[in-house]
Amino acid sequence: MKIRTLLVAACAAASLGASRAQAQVSTGEQGITVAIGGGPVPHIMERLVSMFERETGHQVNLVRPRGDALATDVRQGNVDMIVTGAAAVDEFVASGDISAMSRTPVMTSKIGVAVKAGAPKPDISTPEKLKAVLLGASSVGYSRFTSGRIFLGAVEHLGITDEVTAKGVNPQSGPVGALLVSGEVEIGVQQVAELVAVPGVDLVGGLPGDLQTYLPISAGIPTNARDAETARALITFLRSAPAMAVLEEMGMDVP
């Protein structure tokens, strides 16, 4: 009799647990899924999401789909929100996969120049002064990805492509700032938010004048999102004063 009673209790507990789990799924308590882009966005969103979760009690699962997987996730309702390059969000709006009403600018990234902490900061306030700094540097580190392509475009505009690429160093993995800290390069160029995230790096400033390229980041909610309400709450938080203060601290510009 005692064994039968224990079995009944165990089955009841299992049934209750399953019911609670099902209730969490149906009410969104397991959280929303947010697809994010690359560059500094993952590092920044991790911090902002932690703040949002503490403040609201909602759970946010960050994912980073590669290539065409983002479009698939958006169209199949696998994500409740995206935070990525504004151009990509605009394309989803144009195709009807992202609600136009939800499209919101949340931050802007720019390209910066840095040195190892404690090293003299060169004057890069004008294109000509930056040109002189790059020509005089023993080595220059830059990414193989977005910021690196922008930098090489600026270098081409300055007419010193051959000189810079001859002493250019691309990190095999990790940020450009790691090359500065290790002493492998004298000057480092990458998105500002990626540079300032590395301890032991001092930001000199952004690329001057017309050499600068700004990379706007937007948020949007798929038309078939499972929990659009929580996604809207997260977007509202990303535009709040506390969130914007963190964005500026982490090297991003705010809308």
**pLDDT tens for each residue of 190-199:** 999 999 999 9
The SS3 of residue 119 is: coil
- Band of the pLDDT at 18, cuts 50, 70, 90? very low
- Band of the pLDDT at 29, cuts 50, 70, 90? low
Mean pLDDT across 232-242:
98
Predicted confidence at residue 54, as pLDDT, reads 97
Predicted confidence at residue 17, as pLDDT, reads 37
Whether residue 128 is predicted with pLDDT greater than 60 in this model: the reply is yes
Vertex 60 angle, CA 58 and 63, to 5°: 170
Q: What string of DSSP letters covers 31-62?
A: -EEEEE-STTHHHHHHHHHHHHHHHH---EEE
Q: Are 219 and 82 in contact (CB under 8 A)?
A: yes
- Band of the pLDDT at 24, cuts 50, 70, 90? very low
d(CA 153, CA 186): 20
pTM of the model: 0.85
Q: What string of DSSP letters covers 74-87?
A: HHTT--SEEEEEHH
Structure tokens at 208: 């001057």
Predicted confidence at residue 234, as pLDDT, reads 98
Which domains, from first to last, does the chain contain?
32-108+216-249 (3.40.190.10), 109-214 (3.40.190.10)
Whether residue 5 is predicted with pLDDT greater than 70 in this model: the reply is no
Mean pLDDT across 72-81:
96
Closest CA to 255 of 111, 104, 112, 150: 104
* Helices (H), ranges, the chain: 2-27, 41-56, 69-75, 86-95, 127-136, 146-158, 161-166, 176-182, 192-196, 228-238, 241-249
Mean pLDDT across 146-152:
97
Mean pLDDT for all residues in the chain: 90
The residue written with tokens 């250019």 in the block is 168
Closest CA to 154 of 180, 184, 128, 174: 128
DSSP 8-class letter at 103: -
Predicted confidence at residue 4, as pLDDT, reads 37
Mean pLDDT across 25-40:
78
